[in-house]
Chains A and B, each alone.
Chain A
Amino acid sequence: MKNKLKEIRTRRGISQEELADILGVSRQTISSLENGRYNPSILLAFKIARYFEMSIEDIFIYEEGEDGR
Protein backbone atom coordinates (compact mmCIF):
# COMPACT_ATOMS: atom_id res chain seq x y z
CA MET A 1 0.00 0.00 0.00
CA LYS A 2 1.36 3.41 -0.95
CA ASN A 3 1.25 6.31 1.46
CA LYS A 4 2.17 9.96 1.84
CA LEU A 5 3.42 9.64 5.40
CA LYS A 6 6.98 10.80 4.74
CA GLU A 7 5.76 13.80 2.77
CA ILE A 8 3.24 14.78 5.47
CA ARG A 9 5.69 14.22 8.31
CA THR A 10 8.49 16.27 6.74
CA ARG A 11 6.01 19.03 5.92
CA ARG A 12 5.13 19.17 9.61
CA GLY A 13 8.81 19.24 10.50
CA ILE A 14 8.89 16.30 12.85
CA SER A 15 11.41 13.50 12.93
CA GLN A 16 10.68 9.78 12.66
CA GLU A 17 11.75 9.37 16.28
CA GLU A 18 9.34 12.07 17.46
CA LEU A 19 6.44 10.62 15.49
CA ALA A 20 7.27 7.16 16.81
CA ASP A 21 7.14 8.45 20.40
CA ILE A 22 3.84 10.22 19.79
CA LEU A 23 2.25 7.11 18.25
CA GLY A 24 3.84 4.70 20.72
CA VAL A 25 5.68 2.65 18.11
CA SER A 26 9.33 2.15 17.19
CA ARG A 27 11.25 4.42 14.83
CA GLN A 28 11.77 1.41 12.58
CA THR A 29 8.01 1.02 12.25
CA ILE A 30 7.70 4.59 11.00
CA SER A 31 10.58 3.98 8.59
CA SER A 32 8.97 0.75 7.31
CA LEU A 33 5.61 2.49 6.89
CA GLU A 34 7.19 5.31 4.91
CA ASN A 35 9.03 2.88 2.65
CA GLY A 36 5.84 0.87 2.08
CA ARG A 37 7.41 -2.26 3.52
CA TYR A 38 4.79 -2.52 6.24
CA ASN A 39 1.07 -1.80 6.20
CA PRO A 40 -0.35 -0.48 9.46
CA SER A 41 -3.25 -1.95 11.39
CA ILE A 42 -6.49 -0.03 11.22
CA LEU A 43 -5.80 1.21 14.76
CA LEU A 44 -2.39 2.63 13.88
CA ALA A 45 -3.76 4.10 10.65
CA PHE A 46 -6.42 5.90 12.71
CA LYS A 47 -3.83 7.14 15.20
CA ILE A 48 -1.69 8.53 12.36
CA ALA A 49 -4.67 10.14 10.67
CA ARG A 50 -5.91 11.67 13.95
CA TYR A 51 -2.48 13.05 14.74
CA PHE A 52 -2.17 14.77 11.38
CA GLU A 53 -5.86 15.77 11.47
CA MET A 54 -6.51 14.08 8.15
CA SER A 55 -8.53 11.13 6.95
CA ILE A 56 -6.93 7.72 6.49
CA GLU A 57 -7.50 7.94 2.73
CA ASP A 58 -5.55 11.22 2.62
CA ILE A 59 -2.48 9.39 3.92
CA PHE A 60 -2.81 5.78 2.76
CA ILE A 61 -3.66 4.85 -0.79
CA TYR A 62 -5.35 1.51 -1.29
CA GLU A 63 -4.92 -0.09 -4.69
CA GLU A 64 -7.20 -2.83 -6.02
CA GLY A 65 -5.82 -6.32 -5.74
CA GLU A 66 -3.74 -5.63 -2.62
CA ASP A 67 -3.76 -8.15 0.14
CA GLY A 68 -1.64 -9.19 3.08
CA ARG A 69 1.33 -7.27 4.42
Chain B
Amino acid sequence: MEDKIKKQRIKQFVFTIIGYLVGVSLYDILGNESSPFRHIFGVILVVILRSLFDLYQYKKHPKLKEKEKQLEKDERLIFIRDRAAFITNNIVFAILIILWFVFVIRGNDELAYYLSGFIIFIFAIMQLVKYYLNKRM
Protein backbone atom coordinates (compact mmCIF):
# COMPACT_ATOMS: atom_id res chain seq x y z
CA MET B 1 0.00 0.00 0.00
CA GLU B 2 2.87 2.39 0.81
CA ASP B 3 4.31 1.75 -2.64
CA LYS B 4 0.93 2.65 -4.14
CA ILE B 5 0.98 5.92 -2.21
CA LYS B 6 4.48 6.69 -3.52
CA LYS B 7 3.33 5.98 -7.08
CA GLN B 8 0.24 8.12 -6.52
CA ARG B 9 2.39 11.05 -5.37
CA ILE B 10 4.57 10.78 -8.47
CA LYS B 11 1.43 10.72 -10.65
CA GLN B 12 0.03 13.72 -8.74
CA PHE B 13 3.23 15.63 -9.45
CA VAL B 14 3.08 14.74 -13.15
CA PHE B 15 -0.60 15.72 -13.28
CA THR B 16 0.26 19.06 -11.65
CA ILE B 17 2.89 19.88 -14.27
CA ILE B 18 0.78 18.64 -17.20
CA GLY B 19 -2.35 20.35 -15.88
CA TYR B 20 -0.59 23.66 -15.53
CA LEU B 21 1.04 23.50 -18.97
CA VAL B 22 -2.22 22.41 -20.64
CA GLY B 23 -4.15 25.12 -18.78
CA VAL B 24 -1.76 27.87 -19.82
CA SER B 25 -1.62 26.59 -23.42
CA LEU B 26 -5.42 26.34 -23.59
CA TYR B 27 -5.69 29.92 -22.40
CA ASP B 28 -3.38 31.01 -25.23
CA ILE B 29 -5.15 28.85 -27.84
CA LEU B 30 -8.48 30.39 -26.88
CA GLY B 31 -6.99 33.65 -28.05
CA ASN B 32 -6.63 35.43 -24.78
CA GLU B 33 -3.86 37.91 -24.19
CA SER B 34 -1.11 37.14 -21.76
CA SER B 35 -2.16 38.24 -18.30
CA PRO B 36 -2.13 37.02 -14.70
CA PHE B 37 -5.34 35.11 -15.55
CA ARG B 38 -3.25 32.88 -17.79
CA HIS B 39 -1.52 31.41 -14.71
CA ILE B 40 -4.74 31.34 -12.70
CA PHE B 41 -6.33 29.34 -15.55
CA GLY B 42 -3.42 26.88 -15.32
CA VAL B 43 -3.83 26.53 -11.56
CA ILE B 44 -7.60 25.99 -11.91
CA LEU B 45 -6.99 23.18 -14.41
CA VAL B 46 -4.44 21.64 -12.02
CA VAL B 47 -6.99 21.69 -9.18
CA ILE B 48 -9.66 20.10 -11.41
CA LEU B 49 -7.31 17.42 -12.79
CA ARG B 50 -5.87 16.61 -9.36
CA SER B 51 -9.33 16.35 -7.80
CA LEU B 52 -10.54 14.01 -10.56
CA PHE B 53 -7.38 11.91 -10.29
CA ASP B 54 -7.67 11.68 -6.49
CA LEU B 55 -11.35 10.72 -6.72
CA TYR B 56 -10.50 7.99 -9.23
CA GLN B 57 -7.63 6.68 -7.08
CA TYR B 58 -9.69 6.61 -3.89
CA LYS B 59 -12.50 4.79 -5.68
CA LYS B 60 -10.05 2.28 -7.17
CA HIS B 61 -8.20 1.73 -3.88
CA PRO B 62 -10.64 2.36 -0.99
CA LYS B 63 -7.95 1.78 1.67
CA LEU B 64 -5.64 4.41 0.20
CA LYS B 65 -7.14 7.36 2.09
CA GLU B 66 -7.03 5.48 5.38
CA LYS B 67 -3.38 4.60 4.82
CA GLU B 68 -2.56 8.20 3.88
CA LYS B 69 -4.09 9.41 7.16
CA GLN B 70 -2.07 6.78 9.00
CA LEU B 71 1.14 7.97 7.36
CA GLU B 72 0.35 11.59 8.25
CA LYS B 73 0.48 10.59 11.91
CA ASP B 74 3.59 8.43 11.56
CA GLU B 75 6.04 9.82 14.13
CA ARG B 76 9.15 9.01 12.11
CA LEU B 77 7.77 10.85 9.07
CA ILE B 78 6.80 13.80 11.30
CA PHE B 79 10.34 13.80 12.71
CA ILE B 80 11.80 13.73 9.19
CA ARG B 81 9.47 16.56 8.11
CA ASP B 82 10.50 18.67 11.13
CA ARG B 83 14.19 18.01 10.52
CA ALA B 84 13.82 18.88 6.82
CA ALA B 85 12.03 22.12 7.76
CA PHE B 86 14.79 22.98 10.26
CA ILE B 87 17.58 22.36 7.76
CA THR B 88 15.72 24.24 5.00
CA ASN B 89 15.16 27.16 7.37
CA ASN B 90 18.88 27.33 8.17
CA ILE B 91 19.84 27.15 4.50
CA VAL B 92 17.37 29.93 3.60
CA PHE B 93 18.71 32.09 6.43
CA ALA B 94 22.31 31.52 5.30
CA ILE B 95 21.41 32.44 1.70
CA LEU B 96 19.59 35.60 2.85
CA ILE B 97 22.55 36.69 4.97
CA ILE B 98 25.01 36.01 2.13
CA LEU B 99 22.75 38.03 -0.20
CA TRP B 100 22.65 40.87 2.32
CA PHE B 101 26.46 40.91 2.43
CA VAL B 102 26.60 40.92 -1.37
CA PHE B 103 24.18 43.86 -1.54
CA VAL B 104 26.15 45.78 1.09
CA ILE B 105 29.47 45.17 -0.68
CA ARG B 106 28.01 46.13 -4.10
CA GLY B 107 26.49 49.24 -2.64
CA ASN B 108 22.85 48.31 -3.25
CA ASP B 109 21.77 50.07 -0.07
CA GLU B 110 18.07 50.00 -0.82
CA LEU B 111 18.01 46.24 -1.45
CA ALA B 112 20.20 45.61 1.60
CA TYR B 113 17.78 47.71 3.66
CA TYR B 114 14.70 45.77 2.48
CA LEU B 115 16.48 42.45 2.87
CA SER B 116 17.57 43.23 6.43
CA GLY B 117 13.95 44.15 7.20
CA PHE B 118 12.81 40.84 5.74
CA ILE B 119 15.44 38.88 7.72
CA ILE B 120 14.38 40.63 10.95
CA PHE B 121 10.71 39.93 10.16
CA ILE B 122 11.36 36.20 9.56
CA PHE B 123 13.52 36.02 12.69
CA ALA B 124 10.79 37.72 14.77
CA ILE B 125 8.17 35.25 13.51
CA MET B 126 10.49 32.37 14.36
CA GLN B 127 10.98 33.69 17.90
CA LEU B 128 7.23 34.20 18.33
CA VAL B 129 6.47 30.64 17.22
CA LYS B 130 9.17 29.33 19.55
CA TYR B 131 7.73 31.37 22.42
CA TYR B 132 4.22 30.09 21.70
CA LEU B 133 5.35 26.45 21.49
CA ASN B 134 7.45 26.86 24.63
CA LYS B 135 4.38 28.07 26.52
CA ARG B 136 2.23 25.22 25.21
CA MET B 137 4.62 22.37 25.99
Q: Chain A: residues with CB nearer than 8 A to chain B?
A: 17, 21, 24-29, 32, 38, 40-41, 43-44, 69
In Å, the complex CA distance between A17 and B71 comes to 13
Q: Does B77 contact A (CB under 8 A)?
A: yes
Judging by beta carbons under 8 Å apart, are A29 and B73 in contact? no
> In the complex, how many residues of chain B place their beta carbon closer than 8 angstroms to a beta carbon of chain A?
10
By beta carbon, the residue of chain A nearest B5 is A26
Most chain A C-beta atoms within 10 Å of own C-beta, residue among B74, B76, B77, B79: B76
A26-B2, A27-B2 as given contacts; A32 in contact with B76, CB under 8 Å: yes
Residues of B within 8 A of A (CB): 1-2, 70-71, 73-77, 79
Cα-based distance from A69 to B78 in the complex (angstroms): 13
Among A17, A25, A26, A41, the one with the most B-chain Cβ atoms within 10 Å of its Cβ is A26
Cβ contacts under 8 Å, B2 to chain A:
26-28
Which A-B residue pairs are the 9 nearest by beta carbons? A29-B76, A26-B74, A25-B74, A41-B75, A38-B76, A24-B70, A26-B71, A27-B2, A29-B74
